[in-house]
Amino acid sequence: MYFKGTYEHTMDIKGRIFIPAKFREGLGEDFVVCKGFFEPCLYIYSNEEFQNLSSKLDNLPFANKDAMRLQRELYANASDVTVDKQGRILIPSPLREHAHLEKEAVVAGVRTHVEIWDPELWKREREQSPGIESYTENLRNQGVML
């Protein structure tokens, strides 16, 4: 399943946030939340997709410092979560801090995973984006044809 769409939700005082039913269909009842790789946001992976990612990391050289640090950063900050009866998950405090989440949050589908953003950071990210045309042109210049 590919995740798509953007939703805005309120996080409660305990750090629980609603995950849209559309996303829960592909994620299941239990899944993984971790730090985003490139921005101050969170990534949500189904257990299957997290295993796919883990399999790629298994092929990294053990003696490479960057490979070890990437694995340490990913796994030490990942958390298994379970959806409650109201469709919410509890985001651990360190992950909320990483993503600057306080009350409101943006939940966005990004193909193989879901991202959770602070609304102001999401707005800034979108404003700074040069647009799909620029990205496709850059990829085309690298030999990637869509």
Nearby residues of 32 by Cβ (< 8 Å), 6 or more positions away: 44, 45, 46, 47, 50, 78, 79, 80, 81
- Residue 145 within any structural domain of the chain: no
Question: Between the CA of residue 103 and those of 17, 19, 48, 96, 118, what are the distances in Å?
Answer: 9, 15, 30, 10, 9
CATH number for the domain harbouring residue 86 = 3.40.1550.20
Q: How confident is the model at residue 39 (pLDDT cuts 50, 70, 90)?
A: very high
Interval 80-139: pLDDT, tens? 999 999 999 999 999 999 999 999 999 999 999 999 999 999 999 888 877 777 777 877
Whole-angstrom distance, CA of residue 70 vs CA of residue 80: 18
pTM score of the predicted model: 0.90
User: Are β-strands 42-46 and 6-10 bridged in parallel, bridged antiparallel, or unpaired?
Assistant: unpaired
Q: Based on the structure, what is the number of domains in the chain?
A: 1
Domain membership of residue 91 as a residue range: 6-119
- The DSSP line for 95-140 is HHHHTT-SSEEEEEEEBTEEEEE-HHHHHHHHHH---HHHHHHHHH
pLDDT tens digits, 52-80: 999 998 888 878 999 999 999 999 999 99
Residue 143 lies in a domain: no
Kind and range of the H or E run holding 144? none
DSSP state of 3: B
Q: Are 114 and 27 in contact (CB under 8 A)?
A: yes
User: Within a 10 A sphere around the Cβ of 11, how many other Cβ atoms?
Assistant: 19
